[in-house]
Structure 1
Amino acid sequence: MSVKLLPDIGDLAEGLGVTGIAALLLLPVFAPVIARVGKPITKTMIKGAILFYEKNKEAIAELGDTWDDIVAEARAELAEERPMKSAKPIE
């Protein structure tokens, strides 16, 4: 019994199918077009995220403060519970 490290070329071609092979062959042709179109789209998305952050900066800060308060309360409750578990009962 031998160990098969790499797939057989026939199996690979069958698995990818005609569309996969065509895509691999045409990738070098379309890569520059995708890059030219993709960069402006990416920049637009980043600009939108920056504008969203700027408009909602105060709400985001309040959300962070609320989260910090909840975490502090949970830690305080844990600190209160720990001594109770280790305390000896009164006789």
Structure 2
Amino acid sequence: MSVLEDIFKGGNIVTGLAIGIGAGVVVPVITPVLRPLAKSVLKAGLIAYEQGRVAVAELNEQTGDIVAEARSELAEAGRRPVAETTPEAREGEAREGLPEQA
């Protein structure tokens, strides 16, 4: 940016013309190289995104399986998971462990 600022602050016109002509010559040469590079970067990003999405889906499935197994084991033991009990039942269970009040 300092080159452009110097040009506008009073650099001579020849410098500005050289930059303009140089850009006109360099851009067509660089464009064929940059386009495939940009496509490669985008492809890599898309592949990484898809792999991340698959990994999250697998993690979600495994977590769901573990939760289902835990609920099943609680049901076999004769206990209901907390999420499946009513607030009244939880209140009654909590009072069972307290001493009698006079």
TM-score (norm 2): 0.46
Q: Which of 49, 58, 83 does residue 75 from structure 1 map onto?
A: 49
Within 5 Å, which residues of 2 pair with 1:1-91?
Answer: 35=10, 37=12, 39-87=13-61, 88-89=64-65, 91=69
Mapped to 2, the partners of 1:72 and 1:78 lie a distance apart of 10
Shift of 1:80: 0.7
Q: Which aligned runs of 4 or more in structure 1 are off by greater than 3 angstroms?
A: none
**What is the alpha-carbon root mean square deviation over aligned residues?**
2.1
Q: TM-score, normalised by structure 1?
A: 0.51
Structure 1, unaligned stretches of length 5 or more? Answer: 1-33
Q: Which amino acid aligns with 1:63?
A: L
Q: 1:84 to 1:52 in 2, by over 3 A?
A: same
Q: Distance in 2 between matches of 1:74 and 1:57?
A: 26
Q: Over alpha carbons, which structure has the higher Rg?
A: 2
Q: Secondary structure at the match of 1:42?
A: helix
For residues 31-50 of structure 1, the C-alpha deviation after alignment (integer angstroms, 9 at most, x for no partner) is xxx6361x331231232123
Which residue of structure 2 aligns with residue 22 of structure 1?
none
**Counterpart in 2 of 1:4?**
none
RCO greater where, 1 or 2, for CA within 8 Å and sep 6 or more?
A: 1
Percent pairwise identity: 11
Unpaired runs of 5+ in structure 2?
Answer: 1-8, 70-102
